[in-house]
Chains A and B, each alone.
Chain A
Amino acid sequence: NAGVTQTPKFQVLKTGQSMTLQCAQDMNHNSMYWYRQDPGMGLRLIYYSASEGTTDKGEVPNGYNVSRLNKREFSLRLESAAPSQTSVYFCASSRDRGIGYEQYFGPGTRLTVT
Chain B
Amino acid sequence: QKEVEQDPGPLSVPEGAIVSLNCTYSNSAFQYFMWYRQYSRKGPELLMYTYSSGNKEDGRFTAQVDKSSKYISLFIRDSQPSDSATYLCATLKTSYDKVIFGPGTSLSVIP
Residue ranges of A at the interface with B (Cβ–Cβ < 8 Å): 4, 40-45, 48, 58-59, 90, 92, 97-108
Question: When A and B form their complex, what is the total count of cross-chain residue pairs whose Cβ atoms lie within 8 Å?
Answer: 57
| A108-B8 in contact (CB<8A) | no
Most buried by B among A41, A103, A107: A103
Q: How far is the CA of A101 from the CA of B8 in the complex (A)?
A: 22
A54 → chain B closest CB, angstroms:
13
B61 at the interface (CB under 8 A from A): no
Which residues of B (1-18) have their CB < 8 Å from a CB of A?
4, 8
Q: How far is the CA of A70 from the CA of B46 in the complex (A)?
A: 25
Given the known interface contacts A41-B103, A42-B102, A42-B103, the answer about A99 and B95 at a Cβ–Cβ threshold of 8 Å is yes
Q: How far is the CA of A60 from the CA of B35 in the complex (A)?
A: 23
| B98-A98 in contact (CB<8A) | no
Q: How far is the CA of A17 from the CA of B44 in the complex (A)?
A: 29
Q: How far is the CA of A45 from the CA of B44 in the complex (A)?
A: 14
B74 at the interface (CB under 8 A from A): no
Which residues of B (84-111) have their CB < 8 Å from a CB of A?
88, 90, 92, 95-104
A5 → chain B closest CB, angstroms:
10
Given the known interface contacts A101-B34, A105-B45, the answer about A42 and B88 at a Cβ–Cβ threshold of 8 Å is yes
Given the known interface contacts A40-B103, A42-B104, A43-B88, the answer about A100 and B46 at a Cβ–Cβ threshold of 8 Å is no
**B42 partner, pick from A97, A103, A108, beta carbons under 8 A:** A108
**B101 partner, pick from A43, A107, A108, beta carbons under 8 A:** A43
Q: How far is the CA of A34 from the CA of B7 in the complex (A)?
A: 25
Given the known interface contacts A100-B97, A101-B49, the answer about A107 and B104 at a Cβ–Cβ threshold of 8 Å is no
Residues of B within 8 A of A101 (CB): 32, 34, 49, 92, 95, 99
**A4 partner, pick from B41, B43, B102, beta carbons under 8 A:** B43
